[in-house]
């Protein structure tokens, strides 16, 4: 699914990623953990193609395609979805209008027929229900006046509608209370499928008690310094990151 | 051409009389009282109207061009303008759509303009405008049954002289300003609407207009009178780009809403804006004003995307007690366009209310200014105004300005003013693109969201078109 090789990237002339390697197979869930400033969020943005994030060396391939030579929107068409840590507001543009446009764009690229309004609405309603968002949110401006938790659930709702191949969840668990966390986790679990991969970027082991990852990686100093199974997350919870930085 | 030559030329036309085929009448450039006599005589106007025009001309000679607007352009050479030109002869016009600039056709298609309307708008020669003729006739019959008068102002001068005499120039006096005076002297044509007492106009006066409006000339004059308790919605303009060889457009629109009447006036202005450097393009200097009598309501909605320079302040004089004025505006400037637009709400009566919602969008290296006056007179007990004035910037080379003027002479009046300036942020674009939208689609969606409150006020079919229009107008504004 995803193959990252010796990836180097910088933001504002500051080197953040310094030789990152990661391979994610189809159907797998990977958790990426690590201390603040280690480059976790940067990885998501570099893969998604955020302006200002420059790749200086290495490669990243999604489904065999060179991701780095594609525009942001083409990466999305290919099936990459980044759930933002802090999604921005777009006042006046209704969530529904936004979703319809984005679903249309992605389906068009995939060669799927455009959804008529009825089937789209049906899917949108189902997705709202799955993340426990009131249907009224479809009519509100994109993220406009949403609480932190509502924004996160809104991102997840979009992810469900777009049916991406690779989901990158950037600290989707941060700022959620325990109930919301469970809703989000069951939403993500429902998305697990043999032809979809999920990368969970998180600080805390908490999320991983609800979503069992296949692999856990520790990102530190712009590289993956340790990989393991889910027990690694528990170990990190106990010991912190400091011991790994020495290894790095 | 010397003055003498011009006068000679005019006299020659005179000598030829007015029996010549209308298609060949065009005045040489220049303006003097003979020009006005020619126009008036050509339209076979009564003596009083000629005098009215000449009086306006004399005032105009003494007036100076306004320079307070936040726009810059080389001086207009008024003696190089031809003040009367008939529509092009059929044989000089394109014979079919195949002969029309493909770029223009492409824009029409993007806006979803039906083919037969495209032909009319592009000025294709047609003796009979197929579909629209029967449509027009049906409309006329329907309006006639309701007692509504809707005709050109030239016809109205002959057919309804009492109404014209009673109302022409009562809202925008001839001396009102430089361009209003010029218009009063040389106005070419325009529309006249009269809605009788208690009548609700049976249709939007728009579809009809859209088909027939092309070629109304550069000095348009419109007068709408809504008698007591009547109601009318009028839509001027068209989302399709209007090309015109005349650079200067100075129109006057007067609205009279008598007791309990309601006038809704919507405009979509898409005159040629000039090229990316600002060469060519229309100067649109318009005076629009309405007088609202007791318990009446005047509502202006405008979507301004065209013209190189826009200078326009649709206003309401809230004369009668409890009258209501509204102004909803979207003004978009791209490339080198300049707009200085807004409104005036003059509260004279008690408990008068006004609402101003202005949305300015600047892209390219354009400049967009909102200029608005809210005035509460000493007798405007309990009057209220609410103003919301938002600017949206796209890119970092454009400018947005806000010039609100607030004058309150009544302590019981309430005035609220809110203003915001925002940018289409990189983060918003990034979010849209991450969800698979391309940058242009993303910007147009963000801009449409920004304008939603105003689009809601437009007649429905035009609200859709206005959205598309913004999209077309913003093409190339994101890198």
Phi, psi of B345 (to 5 degrees): -115, 110
Q: How far apart are the first and last CA of chain A?
A: 27
What is d(CA B208, CA B173) in angstroms, rounded to the nearest whole number? 29
Q: 10 Å Cβ neighbour count for A28?
A: 18
Give the pair of three-digit tokens for residue A233. Answer: 């997350």
- Which residues are registered as beta bridge partners of A192? none
> Which residue of B427, B437, B448 is in closest CB contact with A102?
B437
Coil, helix or strand for A16?
strand
- Tell me the pLDDT tens digit for each residue of B310-357: 899 999 999 999 999 999 999 988 888 888 999 999 999 999 999 999
What is d(CA A160, CA A158) in angstroms, rounded to the nearest whole number? 5
A184 and A131 in contact (C-beta within 8 Å)?
Answer: yes
Give the pair of three-digit tokens for residue B161. Answer: 């002289």
State residue B73's pLDDT score: 82
Whether the predicted pLDDT of A157 surpasses 60: yes
Give the C-alpha distances (Å, rounded to integers) separating A25 from A5, A165, A192, B90. Answer: 14, 11, 13, 70
**Nearest-Cα residue of chain B relative to residue A162:** B435
Give the domain range for residue A80: 2-244
State residue B1's pLDDT score: 38
Coil, helix or strand for A215?
strand
Whether the predicted pLDDT of B214 surpasses 80: no
- How does residue B126 score in pLDDT terms, banded at 50, 70 and 90? very low
Q: B160-165, long-range: CB within 8 Å, 24+ apart, which pairs?
A: B160/B192, B160/B194, B161/B46, B163/B192, B163/B194, B163/B225, B164/B49, B164/B192, B164/B223, B165/B48
CB contact under 8 A, B434 and A81: yes
Q: Are strands B309-312 and B262-269 parallel, antiparallel or unpaired?
A: unpaired
- How does residue B298 score in pLDDT terms, banded at 50, 70 and 90? very high
- Tell me the pLDDT tens digit for each residue of B88-98: 555 566 667 77
Mean pLDDT, range A168-182, rounded to an integer: 89
What is d(CA A164, CA A79) in angstroms, rounded to the nearest whole number? 4
Mean pLDDT, range A196-225, rounded to an integer: 91
What is d(CA B449, CA B311) in angstroms, rounded to the nearest whole number? 25
Residues of chain B whose C-beta is under 8 A from some C-beta in A?
Answer: 425-428, 430-439, 441, 445-446, 448-453
CA contacts within 13 A on the Cβ side of B365: 6
What is d(CA B356, CA B374) in angstroms, rounded to the nearest whole number? 10
Contacts of B425 in chain A (CB under 8 A): 88
Q: 10 Å Cβ neighbour count for A112?
A: 12
Chain B nearest-CA distance from A196, in A, is: 17
Whether the predicted pLDDT of B45 surpasses 70: yes
Chain A nearest-CA distance from B436, in A, is: 4
Whether the predicted pLDDT of A63 surpasses 60: yes
Give the pair of three-digit tokens for residue A44. Answer: 């998501």
What is d(CA B379, CA B377) in angstroms, rounded to the nearest whole number? 5
Q: 10 Å Cβ neighbour count for B461?
A: 14
State residue B472's pLDDT score: 76
What global pTM score does this model have? Answer: 0.79
A176 and A124 in contact (C-beta within 8 Å)?
Answer: no
CB contact under 8 A, B437 and A101: yes
- How does residue B115 score in pLDDT terms, banded at 50, 70 and 90? low
The string of DSSP letters for B328-380 reads: EEEEEE-TT-EEEEEEEEEE-STT-EEEEEEEEEE-TT-EEEEEEEEEE-TT-
Contacts of A90 in chain B (CB under 8 A): 428, 431-432, 445-446, 449
Q: How far apart are the first and last CA of chain B?
A: 47
Chain A nearest-CA distance from B441, in A, is: 9
What is d(CA A87, CA A142) in angstroms, rounded to the nearest whole number? 9
Average pLDDT, chain B: 82
CA contacts within 13 A on the Cβ side of B282: 26
Pick the more confident residue, B319 or B277: B319
Give the pair of three-digit tokens for residue B184. Answer: 């009063």
Nearest in space to B45 (alpha carbons), one of B216, B186, B209: B186
Contacts of B452 in chain A (CB under 8 A): 92
* Chain B contact for A146 (CB, 8 A cutoff): no
* Chain B contact for A51 (CB, 8 A cutoff): yes
How many independent structural domains does chain A possess? 1
Contacts of A92 in chain B (CB under 8 A): 448-453
Chain A nearest-CA distance from B434, in A, is: 5
Mean pLDDT, range B70-91, rounded to an integer: 73
Q: What is the CA radius of gyration of chain A?
A: 18
Nearest in space to B271 (alpha carbons), one of B220, B208, B344, B327: B220
Among the residue ranges A137-141, B103-107, B360-364, B457-461, the one predicted with the least confidence is: B103-107
Best probe of the B interface among A83, A91, A155, by most B CBs < 10 A, is: A91
Among the residue ranges A67-81, B243-257, B410-424, the one predicted with the least confidence is: B243-257
Q: DSSP character for B218?
A: S
CB contact under 8 A, A93 and B437: no
Contacts of A110 in chain B (CB under 8 A): none
* Chain B contact for A92 (CB, 8 A cutoff): yes
* Chain B contact for A144 (CB, 8 A cutoff): no
* DSSP strands (E only) in B216-260: 221-226, 231-237, 248-249, 252-257
Give the C-alpha distances (Å, rounded to integers) separating B318 from A215, B120, B193, B329, B351. Answer: 72, 38, 21, 19, 10
Best probe of the A interface among B357, B434, B444, by most A CBs < 10 A, is: B434
State residue B131's pLDDT score: 38
Whether the predicted pLDDT of A218 surpasses 60: yes
Q: What is the CATH number of the domain that holds A179?
A: 3.40.50.300
State residue B6's pLDDT score: 42
Among the residue ranges B196-205, B404-413, B466-475, the one predicted with the least confidence is: B466-475
- Which residues are registered as beta bridge partners of B220? B189
Whether the predicted pLDDT of A167 surpasses 90: yes
Pick the more confident residue, B375 or B212: B375
B272 and B281 in contact (C-beta within 8 Å)?
Answer: yes
CB contact under 8 A, B449 and A109: no
> Which residue of A77, A101, A158 is in closest CB contact with B445?
A101
Contacts of A50 in chain B (CB under 8 A): 430
State residue A242's pLDDT score: 78
B270 and B237 in contact (C-beta within 8 Å)?
Answer: yes
Contacts of A49 in chain B (CB under 8 A): 433-434
Return residues 14-43 of A near B (CB < 8 Å).
Answer: none
Number of DSSP helices (H) and strands (E) in chain B, helices first: 13, 18
> Which residue of A73, A81, A88 is in closest CB contact with B428?
A88
Whether the predicted pLDDT of A104 surpasses 70: yes
Whether the predicted pLDDT of B211 surpasses 90: no
* Chain B contact for A53 (CB, 8 A cutoff): no
State residue B220's pLDDT score: 86
Give the pair of three-digit tokens for residue A201. Answer: 């970027």
Give the C-alpha distances (Å, rounded to integers) separating B375 from A94, B170, B329, B390, B424. Answer: 36, 20, 19, 21, 33
């Amino acid at each position: 699914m995803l193959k990252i090789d010796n990836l180097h990237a910088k933001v504002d002339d500051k080197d953040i990623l310094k030789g990152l390697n990661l391979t994610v197979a189809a159907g797998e869930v990977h958790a990426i953990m690590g201390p603040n400033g280690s480059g976790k969020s940067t990885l998501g943005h570099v893969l998604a193609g955020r302006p200002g994030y420059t790749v200086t060396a290495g490669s990243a391939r999604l489904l065999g395609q060179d991701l780095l030579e594609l525009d942001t929107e083409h990466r999305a068409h290919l099936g990459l979805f980044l759930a933002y840590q802090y999604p921005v507001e777009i006042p006046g543009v209704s969530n529904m209008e936004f979703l319809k446009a984005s679903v249309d764009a992605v389906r068009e690229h995939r060669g799927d027929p455009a959804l008529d309004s009825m089937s789209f609405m049906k899917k949108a309603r189902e997705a709202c229900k799955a993340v426990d968002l009131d249907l009224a949110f479809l009519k509100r401006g994109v993220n406009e006046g949403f609480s932190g938790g509502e924004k996160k659930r809104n991102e997840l709702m979009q992810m469900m509608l777009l049916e991406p191949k690779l989901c990158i969840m950037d600290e989707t668990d941060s700022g959620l209370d325990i109930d919301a966390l469970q809703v989000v986790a069951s939403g993500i679990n429902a998305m697990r499928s043999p032809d979809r991969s999920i990368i969970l970027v998180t600080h805390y082991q908490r999320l991983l008690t609800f979503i069992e990852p296949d692999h856990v990686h520790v990102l530190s100093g712009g590289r993956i310094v340790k990989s393991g199974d889910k027990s690694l997350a528990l170990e990190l919870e106990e010991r912190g990151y400091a011991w790994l930085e020495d290894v790095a | 051409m010397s003055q003498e030559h011009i006068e000679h030329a005019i006299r020659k036309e005179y000598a030829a009389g007015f029996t010549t085929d209308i298609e060949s009448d065009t005045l040489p450039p220049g303006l003097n009282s003979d020009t006005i006599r020619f126009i008036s005589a050509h339209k076979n106007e009564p003596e009083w109207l000629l005098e009215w025009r000449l009086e306006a001309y004399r005032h105009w000679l003494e007036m100076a061009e306004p320079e307070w607007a936040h726009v810059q352009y080389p001086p207009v050479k008024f003696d190089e303008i031809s003040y009367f030109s008939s529509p092009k002869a059929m044989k000089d016009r394109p014979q079919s759509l195949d002969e029309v600039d493909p770029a223009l056709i492409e824009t029409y298609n993007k806006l979803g303009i039906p083919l037969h309307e495209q032909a009319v708008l592009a000025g294709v020669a047609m003796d009979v405008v197929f579909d629209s003729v029967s449509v027009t006739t049906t409309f006329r019959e329907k309006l006639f049954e309701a007692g509504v008068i809707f005709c050109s102002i030239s016809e109205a001068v002959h057919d309804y002289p009492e109404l014209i005499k009673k109302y022409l120039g009562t809202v925008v006096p001839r001396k009102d300003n430089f361009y209003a005076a010029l218009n009063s002297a040389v106005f070419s044509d325009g529309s006249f609407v009269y809605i009788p007492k208690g009548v609700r106009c049976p249709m939007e006066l728009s579809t009809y207009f859209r088909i027939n409006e092309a070629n109304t000339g550069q000095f348009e004059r419109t007068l709408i009178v809504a008698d007591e308790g009547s109601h009318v919605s009028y839509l001027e303009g068209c989302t399709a780009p209007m090309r015109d060889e005349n650079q200067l457009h100075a129109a006057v629109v007067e609205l009279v809403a008598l007791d309990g009447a309601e006038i809704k006036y919507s405009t979509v202005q898409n005159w040629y804006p000039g090229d990316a450097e600002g060469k060519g393009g229309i100067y649109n200097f318009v005076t629009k004003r309405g007088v609202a009598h007791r318990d009446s309501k005047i509502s202006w909605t405008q979507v301004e995307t065209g013209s190189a320079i826009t200078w326009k302040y649709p206003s309401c004089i809230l004369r009668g007690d409890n009258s209501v004025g509204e102004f909803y505006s979207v003004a978009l400037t791209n490339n080198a366009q300049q707009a200085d637009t807004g409104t005036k709400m003059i509260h004279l009566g008690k408990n008068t209310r006004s609402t101003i919602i202005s949305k300015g969008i600047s892209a390219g290296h354009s400049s967009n200014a909102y200029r608005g006056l809210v005035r509460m007179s000493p007798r405007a007990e309990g009057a209220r105004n609410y103003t919301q004035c938002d600017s949206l910037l796209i890119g970092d080379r454009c400018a947005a300005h806000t010039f609100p003027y607030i004058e309150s002479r009544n302590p019981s009046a309430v005035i609220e003013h809110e203003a915001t300036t925002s940018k289409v942020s990189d983060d918003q674009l990034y979010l849209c693109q991450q969800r698979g939208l391309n940058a242009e689609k993303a910007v147009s969606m963000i801009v449409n969201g920004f304008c939603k409150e105003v689009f809601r006020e437009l007649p429905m079919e035009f609200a859709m078109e206005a959205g598309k229009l913004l999209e077309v107008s913003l093409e190339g504004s994101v890198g």
